[in-house]
Amino acid sequence: MSNPPAKGTAFPGQQGRFVPLLGFILLSVCVHAFGFYMFQTIYPPAGRVRPPPVQVGLLSPGTPEADAILRWIDSEDPALAAQPARAPIPDLMTLPYIPSYKSVHARPAMARAPDQPIPYPDGASGLDLVKLAASRPAVPPPPAAPAATAISFSGPLTGAALDPLPSLAGIREADLVALQPARFLLGVSERGEVRYVFIQEASGDKNVDAGAGRILEQVRFRPSAAPLTWGFATFYWGSAVYARSSAAPEVQP
């Protein structure tokens, strides 16, 4: 009959195997402790390097180094390069003021001047020239009757004036024979009324020209479809105007 196993162990026959395991654990703990001790002694903890203190430098003019830096900053200023170039205008505040009404912006369209043919004298044969040289001087003819003042209309106003024409009694001058013909530019409305009178060629006497302009304002023309018709009126001065008589001077269209 066999004996029962002894009490106190769960696995009988395994008590001798735990001793080497415990020895290995104790040896590992000792080796680690020795290693930590050696690292702490041979390699001390690294020291922490602190950042350098903050330093502030002031650029005050007066020293050569500061003046050189300040001049460089002024030359490299981007605001100066971004500004547009400004050219000074000479005599900007001394320019004279010229009103707008002093200059003519639009001129009226001028009517075309009529073409006047150049008169040529009639030719004569040699026999006629001999007879003319051998003949006696003829008696001068009596002076011709003084010509009356005539008004001539040209351009689109030719033959458009209505009768009767205004009287020339308002013009009373003593030297109309020596005056040049006065020429006016007329602007006539669609109803035949004279709206504009511009003198083109003066006669030489302002009073005579002013009186002629007032007379032209009274002339009436035939109505037309155009809103404004431009034409010329020319005064050819004659003796019937300056002759001081009670009768009204004759007007030739």
**DSSP code for 237:** -
pTM: 0.40
Mean pLDDT of 2-28: 67
Q: How far apart are CA 155 and CA 231, in angstroms?
A: 5
pLDDT digits over 157-208, tens only?
A: 888 888 888 877 667 655 566 678 889 999 999 999 999 999 998 888 888 8
Domains of the chain with bracketed CATH:
162-242 (3.30.2420)
Query: Which whole-number Å values give the CA distances from 79 to 75, 84, 87, in the listed order?
Result: 10, 10, 18
Contacts with 197 (C-beta within 8 Å, 6 or more apart), sequence order? 184, 185, 186, 187, 213, 216, 217
pLDDT at 63 over 60: yes
Please state, for a pLDDT cut of 90, what percent of the chain lies above it: 9
* Closest of 198, 232, 237, 252 to residue 114, by C-alpha: 232
Residue 232 is predicted with a pLDDT of: 92
pLDDT digits over 135-170, tens only?
A: 655 566 666 666 677 888 988 888 888 888 887 766
* Closest of 224, 225, 251, 226 to residue 240, by C-alpha: 251
Virtual CA dihedral for 222, 223, 226, 228, nearest 10 degrees?
Answer: 70
